[in-house]
Structure 1
């Protein structure tokens, strides 16, 4: 909004030229979202607790999780609210990619809200059915993918780039649509599976948004894209502002979600974060890189798939003590803090690997 209001006045007041720069607006989007989250966080947490939006144990987690019962959940509302406000304040509202990303972000947030509401207020530990949740995710992902391909005029909308290799690009044609939908839904569910310990999901999400934000900026800059030999997507750089807002909102939420957590993000946070992260990656044509920078989410998801598959194949034997894999380490005797911090370290390493793909071509 500030961009649209102030940039036209820059010809008369040169100091306003600073609003033309994506880097400036990204930084302040992060600061704005951080401050809003820190300011409204305590009030929001009290209200969530007063309204009985408290976590209920599903019964199959490690015993130490019973101590978390009664902690407010649905804290993802704080993340969604602060990030959306900050993005609308600092982004170019004429940019279609911003609106597509916000659509996925808020739609998945609403889906998660309904799920959390059923778990807490209606006391249904399973929330909405798996089929209903998947159908909602599918509808949003299909609509978003269709809009992305409609907006993209670069001629690259159905192409898939392979990182680490120079000029290795696959033309997927109609198959790309299904692939993009899979990435968005898969990422949303992967973050949801990871959100099982204090601070475990939010910090890798912050790291991932910071990394994907840099990649989106490079993709949307014609000179950088040409120099780095990556696909140029016109107007994709503006997504850096959304990513900056998510970094700020995520860091602010971590203030309250660090062990011992005062609030959990719930599905309203995890589903929206994962969906929005994938949407930015799809627009910026870094879908494979997303699997690298979001490696923690991939590992958590694979651990569940392997556990279920191994259980069925062997007639009841388990590959891990418990899945997702962070529960395996809990039952192995690791403290919650040790698991979380080690996963954070891995996320940082994976982010550096993802960024290295810009030059290793």
Structure 2
């Protein structure tokens, strides 16, 4: 909304133009979300403790996690507030791209809230039945895809951008809607699976959203997009604000979520953040870039799939426990070591992903 105030002030003094520049808004949105998370964090943690909103540790998990039993959960509320409020202030909320990301954040956050609430209420780690969670996620994702198709004149496109093969742009036609659906739902669940150690998932979110902020910036610039041979998307510049806000909010939440965590984000945070990343990648036509930068999420998801398949087909497990971060825990790796190494891997993958933007 601030952008409209700036336009009004500019009529009195042209120097106010700097306040509406993309660079200024990106920096100030990052700082706003970061400090807002720091500001509301202690209050929300205190309220969650008072209301006995505490994490229920899975009974079959690593024994070292027993000391985490009772840690407040639903910390994703901190994340969502510190993302959505700055977005509404510093971006153009009437931009379709911004609207779609906020829609996913709120709707997936609500599904996660129900899941977390049921876990706390029933004092077990089951929560919302998987089939119902998947149904809700699917309906929300398909609704978004329908909006893209019906409303977004330059949002909906069926061309696929392939890393390392810039001159090959296959057209997926109506199947693109199916791809968009799987990217949103798949990323949301992949992030949810990865959220198992203190701070493990939030820092990759920070790295990837920062990477997408850069991608959104060059995508919305005619000269840069032409030089990099990527699709020019005029209104994608507002996604820069969205991405920097997610980055700032993630770092602010990490202040409380770092080992040993004072609060867990819960499904209200992980489902929303994963869905938002998937949505941003679709809007920027960079679904395969997300696959590269989010390699840790892919690894965690594959470890669960392989564990289940091997157990059903061969009767034994290939990992001590899935997702794979638990496997390393049971092998004796200290939790902070696993967390930091996964962060390092993600940072490297983000740089690799960004390097593919120039690859032809």
Report the TM-score, using the length of structure 1 for normalisation: 0.97
| Structure 1 unmatched runs, 5+ | none
Matched with 2:341 is: 342
Matched with 1:71 is: 71
Q: Write out aligned runs for 1:1-361 (5 A).
A: 1-154=1-154, 157-314=157-314, 316-361=315-360
Please identify, of 35-44 and 142-151, the stretch whose mean Cα deviation from structure 2 is larger: 142-151
Report the TM-score, using the length of structure 2 for normalisation: 0.98
Q: How far does the alpha carbon of each residue in 1:170-229 deviate from its partner, in whole angstroms, 9 at most, with x for none?
A: 100010001100000000000000000000000001101111121122112222111111
Aligned length: 360
Following superposition, the deviation at residue 32 of structure 1 comes to 0.1
Q: Distance in 1 between matches of 2:53 and 2:155?
A: 47
Following superposition, the deviation at residue 15 of structure 1 comes to 2.2
- Alpha carbons 1:307, 1:319 under 8 Å: kept: yes
Q: How far does the alpha carbon of each residue in 1:72-129 deviate from its partner, in whole angstroms, 9 at most, with x for none?
A: 0000000001100011010012311101110001100000000000001232421011
Q: Distance in 2 between matches of 1:125 and 1:303?
A: 20
Change (3 A) 1:35 1:68: same
Q: How far does the alpha carbon of each residue in 1:251-301 deviate from its partner, in whole angstroms, 9 at most, with x for none?
A: 000000000000000000000000001101100000000011111111000
Q: How far does the alpha carbon of each residue in 1:51-80 deviate from its partner, in whole angstroms, 9 at most, with x for none?
A: 111011121111001110010000000000
Please identify, of 138-147 and 256-265, the stretch whose mean Cα deviation from structure 2 is larger: 138-147
Q: Distance in 2 between matches of 1:155 and 1:210?
A: 21
Q: Distance in 2 between matches of 1:283 and 1:153?
A: 12
Q: Distance in 2 between matches of 1:311 and 1:16?
A: 63
Please identify, of 237-246 and 211-220, the stretch whose mean Cα deviation from structure 2 is larger: 211-220
Following superposition, the deviation at residue 146 of structure 1 comes to 1.7
| Structure 2 unmatched runs, 5+ | none
Q: Distance in 2 between matches of 1:11 and 1:275?
A: 39
Structure 2 SS opposite 1:169: coil
- Alpha carbons 1:33, 1:245 under 8 Å: kept: yes
Q: CA RMSD in A?
A: 1.2
Structure 2 SS opposite 1:39: helix
Structure 1 SS opposite 2:89: helix
Q: Distance in 1 between matches of 2:100 and 2:19?
A: 22
- Alpha carbons 1:82, 1:249 under 8 Å: kept: yes
- Alpha carbons 1:152, 1:233 under 8 Å: kept: no
Structure 2 SS opposite 1:232: coil
- Alpha carbons 1:97, 1:148 under 8 Å: kept: no
Q: Distance in 2 between matches of 1:42 and 1:114?
A: 23
Following superposition, the deviation at residue 151 of structure 1 comes to 4.0
Q: Distance in 2 between matches of 1:157 and 1:250?
A: 30
Q: Distance in 1 between matches of 2:128 and 2:177?
A: 27
Q: Distance in 2 between matches of 1:120 and 1:156?
A: 40
Please identify, of 37-46 and 162-171, the stretch whose mean Cα deviation from structure 2 is larger: 162-171
Change (3 A) 1:20 1:223: farther
